[in-house]
Structure formats: C-alpha cells, structure tokens
Amino acid sequence: MINASLKHLAALLADKQISSVELTQTYLSRIEAHNATLNAFISLDTERSLDEARAADACRAAGQAGPLTGVPLAHKDIFCADGWRTSCGSKMLENFIAPYDAHVVSQFKAAGMVSLGKTNMDEFAMGSSNETSYFGAVKNPWDHAAVPGGSSGGSAAAVAARLAPAATGTDTGGSIRQPAALTGITGLKPTYGVVSRYGMIAFASSLDQAGPMAKSAEDCALLMNVMAGFDARDSTSLERPTEDYTRDLEQPLAGLRIGLPREYFADGLSADVAAAVEAALAEYRRLGATTVDISLPNTQLSIPVYYVLAPAEASSNLSRFDGVRYGYRAPEYSSLVDLYEKSRAQGFGAEVKRRIMIGSYVLSHGYYDAYYLQAQKIRRLIAQDFDAAFQSCDVIMGPTTPSTAFNFGEKADDPVAMYLSDIYTIAVNLAGLPGMSVPCGFGANGRPVGLQIIGNYFAEAKMLGVAHQYQRATDWHTRMPEGLK
C-alpha cells in the first residue's frame, strides 16, 4: 500500500477497502518508526491528523467526496496552517503558531486531504542540502551519510521513505527539483503565478513558487488540480481558466522534440549522472521523440544573477523579523536598537545572515546600479535564451543536478560549491518557467539521479504527460530504499 499511487489510494477509499483513518494511521505509524532517524518532520499532531481523517470518512459516507478526499499528505513548514506551528526551519519562528491557512493548505483542506504534519527544511528556504535547518539536518533515505537536497529536503525525504504519499514544497532556485532528484522522487515547479504564494513565508518574492512532490508525474498532476488556481490575495497570482493537469497523461510521444542544451552536458557534470540521463534520453527516442541540440548561452550567469537578486529580496522580506511584532525576541537588551540587533543575531542562522548581508549590500546606495540593476538585465537575457530555444523544441531536458547527493559537511564550508549544485535549476526560476525532475536511475554510489524537464510557460500538463509516458516505460519512480519497505 505504501507504494500505491494517489489514484490507487483514492480508489481503495472509494471502494471502502480502507478508511481514511486506517490509511492515515498507516503513515503516522511509519513516521513514528522512522522519523527519529530521518528527521523529515518538524511538527506532528496525531490527533489533529486523525480528526481530519474522520471528517474525510464522514464526507465519503455522505456522498460528498472529491477525487482525493481522505488521502494524506505532508506540508513543507514554510506554509502557514491554522493552529500548526509554522517555523520555516528557523529559531526565529520556533514557537510561531499560524492563525490562518496558506492558500495551498486551504485548497487541500477543501479537497478533503489529510495533513500528516509539517516537514523539515533549510532555514527560510535558504540552502541546497537541508543542513541549515535549526531543527537539524534531514537524512537522505537512500544513504544516511548523504544530504537529501534542499530546501524542501524534508518533504522529499518523507515521500522517498514512504512516510507520506505526497507532499508540498517550494522552489526558489531549484528547491523542489533538486531534492526530488537527490531522493529519487518526482517534483514539479509550476510556472510562476500558477499557484498562489499567499500564506507562504517569503524568501525571494519574484522567484518563490509552490509545487507538488510525489512518487510519480500522475500523482503530481492530481495534486496540481488541487493546488493551482487564482487567488486575489496574492498580487502575483495569475487569473487563468481552470486546467485539468491530467489531460495529456495518455498523449503518445511521437513527434515530440526534446531540446538538449549543450551547456547542461559540459564540464562539471559527473559521468554517472550523464550516463543515467543519456539512458533516459535513449528511452525517449525509443518512445518516438526526437532530440535537437540547443544552446542556453547565459546559463553560467544564472548563479551570480540569482545570488544578487534572491538575497536582495530576502533582505527586504526578512526585515519584518525584528523581535518586536512576532517571532524570536532576545531575552536581554538595553535599547530598541540593541533589541533589533540581538534578536536578529540570535534568531537567524549563519546562511540566512550571509544572504541578508549580501542583499543589503547590493541594494545599498552606490551599488544598486552596479549589481542589482545589472542582474535584472541579465535575467531578461536568460529568459530570452529560453524563448529562442522553444522555437526549435517542445520541451528541454537535461540533468537536474551535476552530481548525485553529496555527503553531509562536504560543501558546508564552501558556499560557492554549494550554490553550484543548483546550476541547472536556477535559470528556470529566473525566467518564471515550469520545470520538473523525475527519477531516471542511480549513480555509481547507488544514490538517485534526476532528469530535468523544462517546458514553456503554462506547459505543465504537457510536461506531466511527457514524464508519465517515460514512467510507464520504466520503474525508477517505484524504487524505494531497502530497510524502509
């Protein structure tokens, strides 16, 4: 059952072969057995989860169930959820109880899905390894010596270890796709604005986007049917007709043109990842697709551009955490300025402080034009690269990450090396495009490899169909770590 798809779980519930209470308890029991080792969840509330399951069962009994009513899922701890602690992986919000639901959370509630708890994450979503969390690092279920990726590492580990059938995540520079790749699951970052950011604690507002994390593309499509939609409370939410993200799942791949950026297959890509990706591309050719060589010439600039723009927005967004209104307050201080300084110094971790300082610097008088404005110009060039590429292909494919999961501590003292682990994902956020990662094999060390699929704006349904056809022909997405079965 723990390897069943969301569609299969929903069918079991509809046929009364299992109740939502029984299904929820199955996952809660797995969390109890394995979370002490994996550290995937920050907050749990067993009775609240079971109460939601009972309500879902009552809804089904009354004939009022939707497609996913009674199916459990986990939420990244960046989403406010009424009555739940919402810490964002930080000491700053360690004791913050959210008084309302994020749009994403309320959408899943309305669909009758059951919350299993809040998952661990890099502090304020700043990190690529889940090592910056105030609550400790998450372990990769495939190898406990390896990182699960970040910042949505808790959600990725929970799904990979089958502690949850699905989870929510957020992606600012690859934070859904990178951990999905490193843990062997499927993760989708939608087009910017398709999923509301209301109630999602902000890191970089022009880049942050919520998305689904699950075992398969089909599961992600079902979750997108719930998550997506216009929300007037979010000024960046796009008012578009309602879509069925499952509509292209059965579309054959004959005639599909796959663009292969030469920049994604150059120096820096490990041989074992390259081999797994090439095997996946060979499978796509067997299924009827053709590949064309393309170029994204400004790819190498995406890292410096991102690490100007994202810290700039973070320094503004995190200015609200000052020890006065809510969040951590230093216990001793001599003045208002001292309160600000000590609360922020004690409440934020090292990576958050680093990015706040970088952001404040690039926004300061005399440096705004030299750094921030130039970065915005290059951001436009990066988006134009994708526009040109999609003239000759339908989707773009390549590795999600340059290597498989690295070991804990391996890059902790080298921020630049850590940042380079997102080299293939960041440009997608800068352009606002949809991107996803699907498992496509294992590296030489037995750790998962992810294939990245990038689509044009609002091409999520097409991408999900392209991924689903590959997953029908392969079984990488069904694999799970030994010892967790």
Catalytic positions, written as ranges: 76, 151, 175
Q: Please tell me what DSSP assigns to residue 370.
A: I
Element (H, E) at 284: helix 271-286
Question: Which residue in the block uniquely carries the two structure tokens 């890191």?
Answer: 203
- CA-nearest of 181, 187, 188 to 448 is 181
Burial of residue 67, with CB atoms counted within 10 A of its CB: 0-12 exposed, 13-18 middle, 19 or more buried = middle
Bridge partner residues of 173 (DSSP): none
Cα–Cα distance, 271 to 404 (Å, whole number): 10
Do 314 and 354 meet the contact criterion of CB atoms below 8 Å apart? no
Question: Which residue in the block uniquely carries the two structure tokens 């979750």?
Answer: 223
Do 471 and 477 meet the contact criterion of CB atoms below 8 Å apart? yes
Which tokens go with 398?
């390549």
Which tokens go with 361?
């610097």
Helix axis angle, 6-14 relative to 217-227, nearest 10°? 70
Collapsing DSSP states into helix, strand and coil, what is residue 332? coil
Cα–Cα distance, 260 to 341 (Å, whole number): 49
Question: Which residue in the block uniquely carries the two structure tokens 């009674």?
Answer: 70
Q: Please tell me what DSSP assigns to residue 190.
A: P
Bridge partner residues of 442 (DSSP): 448
- CA-nearest of 89, 293, 335 to 201 is 89
- CA-nearest of 423, 420, 433 to 385 is 433
